[in-house]
Amino acid sequence: MTEREGVIQFDLRYRAGPPPPEESVAVLDGWRGVLHRLQLIGRDPARYGGLGFGNVSHRMDEGFIISGTQTGDREALGVDGYCRVTACDPTANRVDAIGPVRPSSEALTHGAVYRARPQVDCVLHGHSAEIWQRAASLGLAATDPQVTYGTPAMAAEVARLLDVVGMAEAGVFAMGGHEDGIIAFGPDEDTAGGLLVATLARALADALLRNPQPSVQEK
């Protein structure tokens, strides 16, 4: 299996099918647009081998809706940019999905959060060097740096981390072995998105305090 950023590493059982209902996607895609504008989701030729990064999901029935793999370059996806994960078994490294696109390479990680926290209905995965590099000073928990993304090991590490740090309904943590990777989760999109944006603001404030910029008079 490859460990390149954005490449599906699990056993995917995918069927082409209709997109999720518009009402189940609208708020999620709105928050995805916010994260895209903040460059927490996107595609940059100079980063991660030019592959897309970041993904979002929302619990639905017995599974969850998730953005498609390699869609980071698009500011808005609409329903055709999402699929439904109908089964997710991290221990068997298997994901079943149906929709117009294949699921994100981080689907196992999203599934692990939903399995560990039944009260969580939204998971957001963004990339931020500012947050990731300052995780310790911001007081963020982090997964084991030896564990790579999109694997059963990462799913197990996420479940372990959530139990150890005691995050219940909402929180933010860093993915230690996934460069710049940050996960935010909560009972809805507004909670998870608000936490992620607030954490970015804290990281930028921390950077300023540690590396103060010269005043206009000093320049």
Beta strands in the chain (DSSP E): 11-16, 42-43, 52-53, 55-60, 63-67, 82-89, 94-99, 122-127, 141-142, 171-174, 181-186
In whole angstroms, give the CA distance from residue 42 to residue 154: 22
Report field, pTM of the whole predicted structure over 0.85: yes
Q: Return the higher-pLDDT residue of 198 and 9.
A: 198
Q: For the segment 114-123, what is each residue's pLDDT rounded down to a tens digit?
A: 999 999 999 9
What's the confidence (pLDDT) of residue 132? 96
Fold of 11-209: L-fuculose-1-phosphate Aldolase (3.40.225)
User: Residue 192 is encoded by which pair of tokens?
Assistant: 């998870």
Number of Cβ within 10 Å of residue 216's Cβ equals 6
User: Residue 202 is encoded by which pair of tokens?
Assistant: 């804290």
CA distances from 200 to 41, 147, 197 (A): 13, 24, 5
Q: For the segment 24-70, what is each residue's pLDDT rounded down to a tens digit?
A: 999 999 999 999 999 999 998 878 777 889 999 999 988 999 999 88
Q: Which percentage of the chain shows pLDDT scores above 70?
A: 92
Three-state DSSP class for 126? Answer: strand
Q: For the segment 125-145, what is each residue's pLDDT rounded down to a tens digit?
A: 999 999 999 999 999 999 999
Domain boundaries, the chain: 11-209
Three-state DSSP class for 153? Answer: helix
CA distances from 69 to 86, 157, 163, 186, 195 (A): 16, 22, 28, 22, 24
What's the confidence (pLDDT) of residue 5? 44
List phi, psi (to 5°) of 159.
-60, -40
Res 1 pLDDT > 80: no
